[in-house]
Chain A
Amino acid sequence: MRPLAIASLYQGLPRIWWALLALVVIGVLLVPQFRTGSNIVNIFQQSATLAILSIGQAFVIAGGMIDLSVGQLVGLVTVVACMMFERFPDSVALVVAGCVLLGAAIGLVNGELINRLRMPPLILTFGMLSVLQGGIFLLTDRSVGQVAPPIAFLSNGTLLGVPVSLFLVAAVGLAAHYGLQRSVFGWHLLAMGNSAASARKAGLGLARLTRWSYLVSGLCAGIAALLVAGRLGTGFPNAGNGLELDAIVAVVLGGTPLKGGRVSVVGILGAVLFLGVMNNLLNLFQVPAFTQIVIKGLIVIVAILADRPARAARPA
């Protein structure tokens, strides 16, 4: 990365990182178990799925669209992966490739349908959510199969004390940072998010941008599903329920407005960690489960309010 890029990255450090810092300081000062190595490794491992899913969602949201189908897509790929791992224990790499391709293919179908049918993305992906949920339950109504050891290691293992999944997140994050914020494709996508009408008048191929951003979203869901399978050890049909909303929350907390036009992968990663650390702290403080839910909801509202001034200064 060029020095200039690093400087601009520092200047534009999204606000969510300061909130994360505050949370971490609270944790370090007040909760002795928080700073243990195993707890920190745990936080990273738990956050990996959401990180990759949110990065995929960012591609869609940056262009002013949305993908509600990713949660159930994670569920479907988790189930399919575990069934295949059990049936073909010797060809793990092939199954992994197949699962990631399955995710990408369904993403491509989303994008193509939005292009061909000229539909609001929210409705189409909401319909796809239902279709995928039906697909999962046609396959199975209970946990099936077993995950392959390499995938379990990817989700739960550590290398030199660093969680393996962190390397994967770093790689995906770097690729996404480049793809969204440093490439022609990303600039065009952001232009489309700012104003689809202007982007079309400027001669950008909106259909191509739509197709590729949904493909990336599906691809990331496929990768995230493998991580989920590794954590659960088996193909649980409801594994992805509600994940799409978590991903959208992370993207928005990370400083990407829902109408698109602006995106920050660094911000999204900060938001994912923020949510992970908060979860962890609430558990360590032994807050009752229902109270935790209320607190999480309030934090979403407070965080979006706190993020407001930065947005007002740079009107989209």
Chain B
Amino acid sequence: MSALTESALRANRLPSLEKAAVWIVLIVLLGLAGLASEAFFKFNYLANLLRQAAPVGITAVGVTFVMLLRGVDLSVGAIVSMSAVTCALVMNGLPGNLWIGVAAACACGAAVGLANGLVIAYGRVSPFIVTLGMSIVVYGIVQMGTGGTARGIVSPGFREVLNGRIGGVLPVLVVCLLAAVAIGIFVQSRLRFGRSVYLVGANPEAARLAGLPVERVTVAAYVVAGLFAALGGLALLARTGVSGTNPGAGMEFDVLAAVVLGGTTFAGGRGGVGGTFAGVMVLLIALNLANVAGLPYAAQLAIKGFIIIAASAAHSWIGSRGGGRNDE
């Protein structure tokens, strides 16, 4: 309880500049983007940007809960691959298999999350290494499933609906992304599970003494991360239409960078889904800026790196003005 009142007091005392930091960075970056090209302020462009953000953004919502718990999930990239590949394989081009494919993908994601959660909660080992190992396992299983070549066909209707636009204007994937973020914010601020995640992350020992089911909350958080990663995989499949063999490769790092940029640090107990959404947008606009400037791929990579560093530095600078502490 004391952790709760203390954090409530802190929230009242400081108009949290720390929380606003990532939004300030996002607005500045959008301003810069607007200077570089007027297209950035057109509805169509912004909608496309959000649609591009859907796979990483939806996945990042789930990972935020794990990070709030002082955990981390490096297996989400592999789960994204697994979800897309499983869905395409199960659908096999038949309209009747559409929902079975979606359900199978979600079940796979939740199952991997459950395995992560059980090992981490009851084995009490480093989540970094467990989920890293899990990502290798899942990657291997996906490769065994595909045999190393792109297989499986998406059901007709799946791509048309998910990749379409409502009324010819608003992309469905944008609605999905915003819905995922809204659900995440609702869960973190209104549900018992969400509040427990904050308390356990802020101080696991205190949470245990206060009678919170720390293990169950941990397992649930990893299942949520796995499930959202599976949904992210479906979003990716909807965008590309083909599963490939490892479409989610390396995505865990984009997700991780977005979550940390969004203010959910490795220390746990602070941050939330709203910041993560802003973090995803910062990363994406950074990449788009480099793209719009017409730079070669190599330079884009370098600039993406510079912007990640600069945005994070600006973030921690603004955050420190707000009285937030800076952990080494």
Q: A117-B313, A126-B253, A126-B308 are in contact. Are A300 and B129 (CB under 8 A)?
A: yes
Inter-chain contact A138/B302, CB cutoff 8 Å: yes
Inter-chain contact B303/A134, CB cutoff 8 Å: yes
Inter-chain contact A123/B129, CB cutoff 8 Å: no
Q: How many residues of B contact A (CB 8 A)?
A: 50
**Closest CB of chain B to A75's CB: distance in Å?**
12
Mark interface residues in A278-298 (1 if CB within 8 Å of B CB, else 0). Answer: 000000000000111111111
Interface residue ranges of A122-169 to B (CB < 8 Å): 122-124, 126-138, 141
B305 in contact (CB, < 8 A): yes
Stretch at the interface among A16-24, A43-51, A220-228, A301-309: A301-309
B312 in contact (CB, < 8 A): yes
Inter-chain contact B297/A137, CB cutoff 8 Å: yes
Inter-chain contact A118/B316, CB cutoff 8 Å: yes
A196 in contact (CB, < 8 A): yes
A113 in contact (CB, < 8 A): yes
Q: A290-B140, A294-B137 are in contact. Are A129 and B305 (CB under 8 A)?
A: yes
Inter-chain contact B144/A290, CB cutoff 8 Å: yes
Inter-chain contact A133/B137, CB cutoff 8 Å: no
Q: A127-B305, A297-B136 are in contact. Are A137 and B298 (CB under 8 A)?
A: yes
**Closest CB of chain A to B237's CB: distance in Å?**
21
Question: Which A residue's beta carbon lies closest to that of B260?
Answer: A123
Inter-chain contact B136/A120, CB cutoff 8 Å: no
B141 in contact (CB, < 8 A): yes
Inter-chain contact A127/B132, CB cutoff 8 Å: no
Contacts of A124 in B (CB 8 A): 309, 312
The residue among A68, A130, A210 with the most chain B CB atoms within 10 A of its own CB is A130
Q: How many residues of A contact B (CB 8 A)?
A: 52
Bound-complex Cα distance A152 to B16 (A): 57
Contacts of A135 in B (CB 8 A): 298, 302
**Closest CB of chain A to B301's CB: distance in Å?**
3
Inter-chain contact B140/A293, CB cutoff 8 Å: yes
B266 in contact (CB, < 8 A): yes
Bound-complex Cα distance A230 to B296 (A): 30
B276 in contact (CB, < 8 A): no
**Closest CB of chain A to B323's CB: distance in Å?**
14
Inter-chain contact A298/B137, CB cutoff 8 Å: yes
Mark interface residues in B257-276 (1 if CB within 8 Å of A CB, else 0). Answer: 10011000110000000000
A206 in contact (CB, < 8 A): yes
Interface residue from B130, B298, B316, B327 paired with A304 (Cβ < 8 Å): B130
Contacts of B144 in A (CB 8 A): 290-291, 294
Inter-chain contact A122/B302, CB cutoff 8 Å: no
Bound-complex Cα distance A299 to B313 (A): 37
Inter-chain contact A127/B312, CB cutoff 8 Å: yes
Contacts of A126 in B (CB 8 A): 253, 256-257, 308
Question: Which A residue's beta carbon lies closest to that of B297?
Answer: A137
Inter-chain contact A130/B124, CB cutoff 8 Å: no
Bound-complex Cα distance A61 to B327 (A): 15
Inter-chain contact A119/B316, CB cutoff 8 Å: yes
Question: Which A residue's beta carbon lies closest to that of B128?
Answer: A258
Question: Which A residue's beta carbon lies closest to that of B261?
Answer: A123
**Closest CB of chain A to B71's CB: distance in Å?**
12
Inter-chain contact A128/B266, CB cutoff 8 Å: no
Question: Which A residue's beta carbon lies closest to that of B136?
Answer: A297
Inter-chain contact A196/B253, CB cutoff 8 Å: no
A249 in contact (CB, < 8 A): yes
Interface residue from B134, B261, B299, B328 paired with A138 (Cβ < 8 Å): B299
Mark interface residues in B303-328 (1 if CB within 8 Å of A CB, else 0). Answer: 11111110011001100100000111
Contacts of A108 in B (CB 8 A): none
B64 in contact (CB, < 8 A): no
**Closest CB of chain A to B260's CB: distance in Å?**
5
B143 in contact (CB, < 8 A): yes
Q: A126-B257, A294-B137, A297-B135 are in contact. Are A305 and B305 (CB under 8 A)?
A: no
Q: A119-B313, A297-B139 are in contact. Are A131 and B306 (CB under 8 A)?
A: yes
**Closest CB of chain B to A263's CB: distance in Å?**
15
B125 in contact (CB, < 8 A): yes
Contacts of B299 in A (CB 8 A): 134, 138
Inter-chain contact B143/A293, CB cutoff 8 Å: yes
Interface residue ranges of A86-140 to B (CB < 8 Å): 113, 117-120, 122-124, 126-138
Inter-chain contact B312/A119, CB cutoff 8 Å: yes
A-B contact pairs, 23 of them (CB 8 A): A117-B316, A117-B317, A127-B257, A131-B301, A134-B299, A134-B302, A137-B301, A138-B296, A206-B328, A290-B144, A293-B136, A293-B137, A293-B139, A294-B144, A295-B140, A296-B140, A297-B139, A298-B137, A301-B130, A301-B133, A304-B125, A304-B129, A308-B123
Beyond the given A138-B302, A301-B129, please list 5 additional residue pairs across the A-B interface where CB-CB is below 8 A. Answer: A126-B253, A127-B257, A127-B305, A130-B302, A138-B298
